[in-house]
Structure formats: structure tokens, C-alpha cells
Chain A
Amino acid sequence: MSDERAGAPTGRVGAPVRTQGPDRDSATLKDRSRPGRRSYSLPPLDVPEASVPAEHARAQRAGLPEVAERDLVTHYTRLSQRNYGVDTGFYPLGSCSMKYNPKVAENAAQLAGFQRAHPNQPDHTVQGSLELLWRLERALCEVTGMSRATLQPPAGACGELTGLLIMRAHHERQGRQRRRVAIPDSSHGTNPASVRLAGFEAMKVPSDARGLVDVGALEKLVGEDVVGLMLTNPNTLGLFEEEIQRITEVVHEIGGLVYYDGANLNAILGRCRPGDMGFDIVHINTHKTFATPHGGGGPGAGPVGVTEELVPYLPVPRVERADDGTFRLESVAPDSIGRMHGFLGNFGVLVRAYAYVFLHGRDGLKEVAERAVLNANYLAERVKDAFPLEHPDGRPMHEFVATARRLKEETGIRAMDVAKRVIDLGYHPSTVYFPLVVEEAMMVEPTETETMESLDAFAEALLRAHRDAHEDPELLHEAPVTTPVRRLDEARAARRLTLRW
């Protein structure tokens, strides 16, 4: 299909993934391998040769590819060109906060004093790292309204497990055996999965007609066997839980704890704080709120803050400051849940988060939330006639959930088809089919770092896809046609498992 037919714009923001040359060449590195070719170079061995005992020795060389460095560079450069990142263009993947990742944070993380510090160096040789962690912990506590935090969890889901194990330790300390954790039906899948890993059972809390927690139902559901509640606010529909004080009160009344899933913290920076809403435990996704790059799927970091009462249960080691201003790692804490990571967590990611937090400061962080919410509301307004909000009476915050339900009824075109058409029009599409409670969901999070022009252009793409669905639906069924591969057979992948060369 020609580009004209695809309707792909040229020379605009968010141009589609394209490569010059043979980009349809799907050879693996193994395919490029030739016996005897090599990249590595090592100095000649300058000590007497020694070998491992014969009974431990490897019989045959490992079957790795043999390529020249030139091959390696061409191969992975080409692969990178078959990938769309935030630096490529607009990436409104709802719930993931795909904002611009400042380059200076990369430089900071590559400073030799950080990048080449060994995790088993004694404390007195890494005072700079420890002070950075200490300052970042203080800043994150200030942003969330918590007392202390652990920076150890390497991702949000690990932060959730950390928080739930803290809940477990807290209840055990009170001599209580509790089993159930309340979770809204619109929550992220990590919440119930973490609940099970913590040895608890998930209990579904229904939403009301406004898309908010049904407080009446919550009151009836919670009882003496409830560990606590996990909640995002704004919630997964992008709506602020207006009755948040009553919600946290209901849980506290039965002795439960309330956990704040930080996925949506970007919306409220400097405007309100989970601690002030009554939350007891908060995790933060630094790769969302604080712009640490998502790395193609990771690494992230998932620091967890807690109220004063829960500080004893925080993981070890913790960074402590002595009266003389020196810092140390403290591992002795009898009530601690223990260790969540082999070392200190994703330190290099935390350096980037530090850079982002202090570049912005108090005024800048507040502006982040303001512009993120402004962008989401503006974009929602631009596309609402084609893709109405699931809950039109609520004001979305940093993201909105629209639905392609009506389009599907009218044309048979589904949210996924719209997403694929949007790819041909030059953009990464929104999240689709999440939250699970919304039919034909399109969850759009533009973030604060997009210009009005790019929002307008994306809105035009969505509106065009909507128009095409009525006028030329083949364009959507066929899409995408501008990418290195077209729609892939996922059923075949699962049926005929090919997981290695």
C-alpha cells in the first residue's frame, strides 16, 4: 500500500518509524554469525595460565554468535530504528506517563563517581551517594506527605509488595491475623498480583456511576479481616476520588491501612499529598512522575514512603545521618520486613530522579501537574465528539479514558483498529482495553511536555481515524501498513512457541 493510501503525513511531529535501506530484513545476530569472526579484544594474559579443575570444566564452547563489531553496530542500530520512543514522538500511553526524559539526568547518572561506585564499598567512601539518597528520600517524603521512605524497590510492583509486607508486619505486630485487601475493580493488574504474593486475598471494590469508589459498598465490604485498601488517586479513570477522606476513614475505622499506588502522582504534584488524604503507605514510580527513562520496559524505581507509625517496618539497609553530618547504611532494625533488592535498588535511576526533582523544585513540580492536567483536558475536549469520555460528568486530571464503544456499534471498528490506524498516521497510540471495566477503552495520557501543536495534530489523527472508520474502514482493518511489520499473529506465537533461535 502506498504512503498516499496510508495517509501518512510527512515531515510532521511524530513521523512513523522508518528506516532507509533494507528495513524488512529480519535477520537475527545469529544469522549474521560466521565462524571465526569476532568483536572482542583483551590484552594478552600477563600472568601464568591457570585452569579450573577438570571436573568443573566446560566441555564445549557456548553457542553464541560470532560477529565483527561492525556487524554488531549495524544490527542493533537497525533494531533501534525499528522502535518508537518518547524521543521519536508523541507517546500518549495512558497510565505510563511517557514524558520527555531530560538529557542532563543521563549525564548525571554517568558521572564516574556514581556509575563506577561498587555496592560493597564501605560507607565512608560513598558519602556522596548516601547523601544523594538521603536528600531524595526527604524530597519524596515532602512531595507525598510521608515520614520516611525506602528507595530500594526497583519498580512500582516491587513497591506494592513492599507496602503490603509492611501492612502484614504491622498487623502481626498488633496480634491480628487479617487476610483480605480491598482493591477497586478498575485497578492495575499489579495490585491483585502483589496482594497474592504478600499472602493475602484481593477483594474487589465496585465503582459507582461516576467512576469513583462506591463508598457505601466499601463500608459494607470492609470488616475485621481486612488488611487495608489499595488505591490510586486520581484513579485509573483519571478522576479524583472526591470522597477520599471518607474512604481512608472507613478503612482506618476497622484498623486497616490505606495504600497509595503512585501510578498517577503526576496529576497532583504540589496540589495535594497522599499523606494529607489519609494514606499510610505510598509508592512512587520514578519512571512515570520523575521522568526517568522507561528503558524499553525498565529499569524503573519504586520508592515507598510510610507514616511515622510504620517506619520500623521499612526495609533495610536504610540511609541514616549521624549528628556529625556523615551518612551510613543501617541494617539493624528488628521490626524491618528485611531486604527487597540485592543492593540499594536501582541507584542509577534514583540519580536521574534526583536530577529531575531538584531541577524543577517546588514551583516547577507544581507546574508539571498543572500542565499535565491542562494537556489532558484540552485533548479530551478536542476528541470528545468522536470518542466520548467514559464518565463525561467528571473532570479528568492528567489522563482521560474515552471509549470507542459507539464507533464499534456504528461501524464494527474497535479501539485496537483505531490504535493501529493512529500508528499509520504517525503516532504511538494510547493504551487500549484498560481499565478492564471500560468497554473499548482508550486511555490517553499526553503528559505535560507536549506542545499544543502536537496535541492538535494527535487530535486530528484520532478524528481522521474516526472519519476513516465510516468512510474507508479498510484503512483501519489493514493498519498498520507503514511499520516494519504489520499486525502480528499473537495466537501463533503462543501456540508454536519459538522463544529462542
Chain B
Amino acid sequence: MRFAPHTDDDVARMLEAIGLPSVDRLFEQIPEAVRLRGELDLPEGVSEMEILADLKALAARNRSTEDLVCFAGGGAYDHYVPAVVWALAGRSEFYTSYTPYQPELSQGVLQALFEYQSMICDLTGLEVSNASLYDGATALAEAVNLARSTPGRDRVLVSAGVDPRYVETLETYGRGAGYRPETFAVADGRGGEPDVGDDVACVIVQHPNAYGLLEPARELFGIAQDGGARTIQVFDPLSLGVLAPPRDLRTDIAVAEGQVLGNHLNHGGPYLGVIATRLDDVRRLPGRIVGETLDVDGRTGYVLTLQAREQHIRREKATSNICTNQTLMAIAATVYLGWLGPEGLEELGRQCASKAAYAAERLTEVSGVELLFGDAPFFKEFPLRLPRPAADARDALIERGFLPGIALPDADGHALLVAVTERRTREEIDGLAMALKEVLA
């Protein structure tokens, strides 16, 4: 299947207009020595039906949350994606356009991004949001770059309760930026205190943390700020219907994985990097920012603003190298938050918290199963200690139609991290408890 529309006659007429006898002549400036001899070692092209059959066969070799009852989380969650989200975000005027360099032709994307920024501020209580970063992990790396702006304050302290994949991402980005993230321990899954010297740039706490547990974030950030460090919170946007927003926790910079906001699981991406911060940071914030303004007739409109921060203007002095971002995912998040509204956000949080609490109760009724960290409070995710290796139990439960969670290395590999979203029913939770009992018997 090909999409170039040229007929042989078109090609002939165009070559004639250019004054060349053949298409090959268009490529004659490529030196002989580097030209590809022969053909690429790829199959012949196929029709639309054939490629779809090939891809369907591959997709059919995956299990997914379509056929497994999903209790897996760990940074990506099986929340319900309402029909309206992709009916709108999937409109091709949005998804086939690009960065709004010509604002008069791009008011749709620009206004949607302005609304996205507004809703992220509504959620977090912080003053500014950008128009998206790649994902939660890379948003954290950008937040650290933003926070490391005071000379002499270079160190980056990370709670051991932060998702290990985020810490690994920081380690990679830190190789270039010149820092190594230093982990401070947590006791019983949460609450370890950072030792904040005057060389510390920032303290990172995830709340709810990577075990799903609620951190004493306000106290930890108090310690950090008293030591002169910036505070970075990794948060769950869908926890904010019931949990206090970052602004109330002394958070300076809040970052999140925005997948939960109307984006499908997509086997890990495309997701959405959320970042929000204080107004003081706006001129150093990475990525696109949309601002409201007026046109020559005094009509309200939107443009990309503060572009002097960005790579296409400032080159090596830019605050980040990001160019292509995750705009479409941000538009989906905007529609989704519009669908939820304040009441839906609260109800969804209440349902997640209630169903997780119920699941923890039912699962710990199974003989030998207990909460890994006792009665530590959690939101929608919690770690269990199983009487057998968690990976084995997980695989046995997959055979029974459940994706029961994530096997963690903790407790000698006996820890299972279980997430419960609003999609899980009482019947499914009871079913998981029953199946767990069977596989542990």
C-alpha cells in the first residue's frame, strides 16, 4: 500500500518541468560510494487488509486488561476511559496538526492546551502548568533540572518511596546534568526523613508513594524547605478528589504521570508528563506554554508564549531540549477532567479508596497473606506479603484470569503490589481473593 498519488504521467510532466530525464537524476548528488547497492532487506509492501491481519495476529498474542481483571498499577492504572474522551481528542483536526507555530490556524489546539494548563492548576492549587512533557518519569527529570538552579546547591535527595523507574530515569538524565540522585531510606514503607544540608537543591517525595502509601508529605517538605531546598512531589492526579492538593503540602514543583487522565494503558505509552509549579519558576519552566492575548481586532486568542525559554529560540541556553511533546494526551486529559468535574473527581477518589480498602481486607483474610507494612494508610494501591514468591502466585492467577498486581523485590520476592480502581467490582475483588486462596493452598 502506498500513499503517494502520482500517476506515471504526473511523474513525467513534473520531471519535464524540472528539466530532468529521470527520477534517479534527482539523487545524483549522493556520492556513488555511499549509495545503497540493491534494495533494502525488507519484505515487499502489503495491502491494508494484510497489514491489519498481521497486526491483529500480534495483538492476539498479548493478554491485556481486556481479558484479564486488572489489579496492576505501579505508575499506570486501569481507570475507565469514557467514550467522549477519544471521540473528541481523536478528531483528526487535532491529531493531524503539529505544534501551533501559526496561531491563527491553531486556535483549537492552543485553547485546549490553555484549558489543560488551567485544569492542572485547579487540581494542584499551583500557579502554572506547561502544555505537557513526555511522561511522569521524564517530567521528574525536568523538575530536577528546574530545581537545580541555585549555585552551590547541587544535590538531589530522593525518597526510597519514589518509583524505582523514576529514579533510574533520574540517574540517566543526571549523567548529563551532573548529579547522582541520592536515596534516603524510608521506615516501614514510608516517612523516612531527608538530611538537608546547605548543598541540597531539592527533595523528592512521591505521595501516594510507590507502595501506594500516604506519606507525611507536609512534614517532609517542611524539613526540606527549612533546610533551604526546593520540594518536588510526584502525585497521582486522580487522588486529588480526596487527598490534599500539592499546594497544601508545601510542594514547590508537582509532577505526575497523566496517563490516568483519560489515556489508555497503551502498553506504557504514549502517556502524559504533568508539571506544575509556582509563578516564580515560569521563565525557567521547560516545554511549551500557552498564553491568552488579543488579536489586532481585540478578540481573545491564544499563542505559544515565553518562547525565549525554548530550544528553537535560545538553542544551547534553552531550559530544556523538548520540542515534540504529548499535546494529544493533554487534550484527552482536558476532556476527561471536563467529564469528571469536581464532583466526579471526588466520587472517583472515594470509590478507589473504598474499593482498595475492601480489597485489602478481603485479600488479607486469605491464610498467610498480610499487609507488607501493617496499618500504614494508603489510597488505591497497597503491598501484600504472600507466603510464596509473588511472581509464581501472579502467574498462577493470570491462568485464572486475574492480573493480580506487580511482584516486588521486597520481602525476598514475596511482595505483591495491588491496585484497585473504580472499574473493579465487589464481585471481581471477591473473585481475586478466592483465586488467591486457591493458588496459595
Contacts and interface: CB of A to CB of B under 8 A. Distances in A.
A77 to B, nearest CB: 7
B172 interface: yes
A67 interface: yes
B301 A373 contact: no
Given A87-B93, A297-B99, A487-B296, A51 B325 contact: no
Interface in A343-366: 343-349, 351, 354-355, 357-366
B269 interface: yes
Contacts of A38: 341, 343-344
A312 to B, nearest CB: 15
Contacts of A285: 324
Interface in A462-485: 480, 483-485
A230 B82 CA distance: 44
A434 B323 CA distance: 15
Nearest to A71: B338
Residue of A45, A291, A496 contacting most chain B CB atoms (<10 Å): A45
B195 interface: no
B107 A82 contact: yes
A52 interface: yes
A271 B51 contact: no
A483 B321 CA distance: 31
A489 B294 contact: yes
A39 B114 contact: no
A377 to B, nearest CB: 5
A277 B34 contact: yes
A304 B266 CA distance: 21
Interface in A332-388: 337-349, 351, 354-355, 357-368, 370-371, 373-375, 377-378, 381-382
A39 B342 CA distance: 11
Given A26-B300, A64-B338, A377 B36 contact: no
Given A46-B426, A104-B48, A493-B305, A79 B108 contact: yes
B323 A156 contact: yes
Interface string A105-148: 01111011111111111101111110110000001001100000
Interface in A380-411: 381-382, 394-395, 397
Interface stretch (A2-10, A54-62, A216-224): A54-62
Contacts of B339: 39-40, 69, 72
A104 B60 contact: no
B31 interface: yes
A229 interface: no
B276 to A, nearest CB: 10
A11 interface: no
Contacts of B334: 29, 76
B241 A58 contact: yes
B438 interface: no
A390 to B, nearest CB: 16
Interface string A55-92: 01111011111110100110111011111111110010
B265 A83 contact: no
Nearest to B358: A47
Interface stretch (B146-154, B220-228, B391-399): B391-399
A315 B169 CA distance: 10
B374 interface: no
Contact of A340 (B26, B52, B169, B325): B169
Contacts of B353: 50-52
B3 A242 contact: no
B21 interface: no
B354 A17 contact: no
A228 interface: no
Contacts of A497: 282, 291, 305-306
A307 to B, nearest CB: 15
A500 B279 CA distance: 12
Nearest to A492: B293
A428 interface: yes
A42 B422 contact: yes
Interface size band for A: 35 or more
A155 interface: yes
Contact of B60 (A113, A277, A377): A113
B44 interface: yes
B26 A65 contact: no
Contacts of A300: 324
A48 interface: yes
Contacts of B23: 370, 373-374
A8 to B, nearest CB: 14
A177 interface: no
A190 B311 contact: yes
Interface string B354-381: 1111100000000000000000010100
Residue of B136, B173, B289, B308 contacting most chain A CB atoms (<10 Å): B173
A457 interface: no
Interface string A238-249: 011010110000
B96 A154 contact: no
Interface in B40-94: 40-46, 48, 51-52, 54-66, 68, 70, 72-76, 78, 80, 82, 84, 87-94
Contact of B295 (A355, A371, A487): A487
Nearest to B77: A118
A305 interface: no
A96 interface: yes
Given A51-B353, A360-B1, A371-B4, A156 B105 contact: no
A436 B102 CA distance: 18
B176 A488 contact: no
B33 interface: yes
B104 A485 contact: yes
A193 interface: yes
A485 B111 CA distance: 12
B267 A480 contact: no
A49 B33 CA distance: 73
A137 to B, nearest CB: 13
Given A295-B328, A362-B40, A157 B322 contact: yes
Contacts of A93: 98, 101
A125 B106 CA distance: 41
Contacts of B114: 28, 499-501
B2 A344 contact: no
A429 to B, nearest CB: 6
Contact of A395 (B26, B240, B248, B398): B26
Contacts of B429: 47
Given A113-B60, A345-B269, A358-B46, A485 B295 contact: yes
B327 interface: yes
A24 B379 CA distance: 44
Contact of A42 (B271, B321, B347): B347
Interface in B308-340: 308, 310-318, 320-329, 331, 334-335, 337-340
Interface string B9-46: 01101110111100100111111011110011111111
B410 interface: no
A140 to B, nearest CB: 10
A488 to B, nearest CB: 5
B440 interface: no
Contacts of A319: none
A260 B341 CA distance: 46
Given A51-B242, A483-B105, 18 more contacts: A39-B338, A50-B353, A63-B342, A83-B107, A85-B93, A116-B64, A128-B57, A158-B138, A192-B318, A296-B99, A296-B327, A342-B271, A343-B165, A394-B29, A449-B3, A452-B6, A490-B293, A493-B292
9 contacts: A67-B338, A76-B335, A154-B134, A194-B321, A201-B316, A296-B106, A381-B19, A494-B305, A500-B127
